[in-house]
Chain A
Amino acid sequence: DETQVSSYIMANTLKPYLDAVRSTLTAAMCLENFASQQVERHNKPEVEMGCDPELLMKPVVIARNAQERVLVEASVNSLRVSIGIKQADEIEVILCKKFVRFLNQRAENFFIMRRTPVEGYSISFLITNAHTESFMKHKLVDFLIQFMQDIDKEISELKLRVNARARIVAQSFLGEFQ
């Protein structure tokens, strides 16, 4: 009964969670070109450099629970979004790690994906002013929200497939001994 209530509450927090992420991202995605103050003729994403405090905004977290959270770090010319993915048990931890590694190796195809996640999160995205100039901001936000929903679905689907395969293998193997 308690798990039913808690799963009802969890289902109830999905929409406010995604809405909060959407509004925070829309507010933070206000980026403009800004040449590096440290090195002449260079243009670096200031959120990654992190040396000039006047160019950085305060990092902000939107959390649904201790595991599922989004860290939004904004600066004058770049925005870093880190997503913590729900990993309920051991097998989901492994699946998530492998899946994210698969995505990270193909980060160029995603344009905005970061090759390594920020400490404490599962996957990170780096959006710069160049991206907001060539892509539509509301579409970028849509993509991130859709990504958050799809990755949860993918991991549960992968887990179901792993369990199904394991069951078939176990049946055929242990069937030999009957």
Chain B
Amino acid sequence: EYCIFVPLPKNYIAAMDFSEMSEEDVTRMMRCALDERTPTVQSALSMGNTTDALTQSLKKPPVGVSCEELKLDSARLVWSVTNAVKSADIDKHLDTLDDLQTDLLLKYVYKGMAQLDGENYSSLLAWHQAIVARTGLGSIVRAMAERRNVL
């Protein structure tokens, strides 16, 4: 049987190893990270700097945590940015993101569409179209298949 090991970049999500930490510690760490980036994102949004807000909101995603509320709060932060962006500017924003961030954004888009009380499905669909046009189907497969996921 062949095993091909590709060296993962240092900040790759799967490379983050939380096996030594307990579940509550990981949740608390992720919650702290979320509380840290919420004011940064909100101030960037209020200044109209949506590109910065987007990159900030995609930092330190709550992967490998089972706390639904934390994942939802983190997602709501991202959705507050994606809703603020006009559909004509979506491509410009995607230019500023790297591959991992684009993948993560697609996962948040899917999470957004799963909500029953959202109103901004048209904006999420526009983001979905733009992201898949760039990354192809691989991004969708990763959104569905990755075990430690924000979904």
Pick out which of these stretches binds chain B: A60-68, A127-135, A154-162. A60-68
- Contact in complex: B149, A58 (CB < 8 Å): yes
A9 to B126, CA, bound (A): 12
B33 on the interface (CB 8 Å rule)? no
Contact A20 B128 (CB under 8 A): yes
Beyond A20-B128, A62-B113, A74-B144, whether A12 also contacts B151 by CB under 8 A is: no
CA A166 to CA B109, docked complex, whole Å: 44
Cβ-based interface call for A19 (8 A): yes
Query: Which listed residue (B110, B117, B129, B132) contacts A61, Cβ 8 A?
Result: B110
Report B-chain residues with C-beta under 8 Å of the C-beta of A121.
Answer: none
CB distance from A131 to the nearest CB of B (A): 19
Interface size (A, Cβ < 8 Å)?
25
- Within the complex, the shortest CB–CB distance from B99 to chain A, in Å, comes to 17
CB-based contact B132/A60 at 8 Å: no
A60 adjacent to B129 (CB under 8 Å): no
* Of B24-32, B38-46, B51-59, B135-143, the one touching chain A: B135-143
Q: Please tell me which stretch of A25-33, A93-101, A142-150 contacts chain B, meaning at least 4 of its Cβ atoms lie within 8 angstroms of it.
A: A25-33
Q: Is B116 a contact of A17 with CB atoms below 8 Å?
A: no
Q: Is the CB of B145 within 8 A of A57?
A: yes
Q: Kindly list chain A residues whose C-beta atoms are within 8 Å of the C-beta of B114.
A: 60-61, 63
Residue B49 at the A interface, CB < 8 A?
A: no
| Cβ proximity bits A45-84 to B, threshold 8 Å, 1 near / 0 not | 0000000000001101111111001001010000000000
A9, B122: Cβ atoms under 8 Å? Answer: yes
Q: Does A104 contact B (CB under 8 A)?
A: no
User: Which residues, 112 to 138 on B, are CB-close (under 8 Å) to A?
Assistant: 113-114, 116-118, 121-122, 124-126, 128-129, 132, 137
A60→B141 contact, CB < 8 A: no
Cβ contact of B140, chosen from A16, A17, A27, cutoff 8 A:
A27
- Complex Cα distance, B144 from A72, in Å, reads 10
Looking at the assembled complex, report how far the CB atom of B101 sits from the nearest CB atom of chain A, in whole angstroms.
19
9 new A-B contacts at CB < 8 Å, known A17-B125, A63-B118? A16-B128, A19-B129, A20-B125, A23-B137, A27-B140, A28-B140, A57-B144, A60-B110, A69-B113
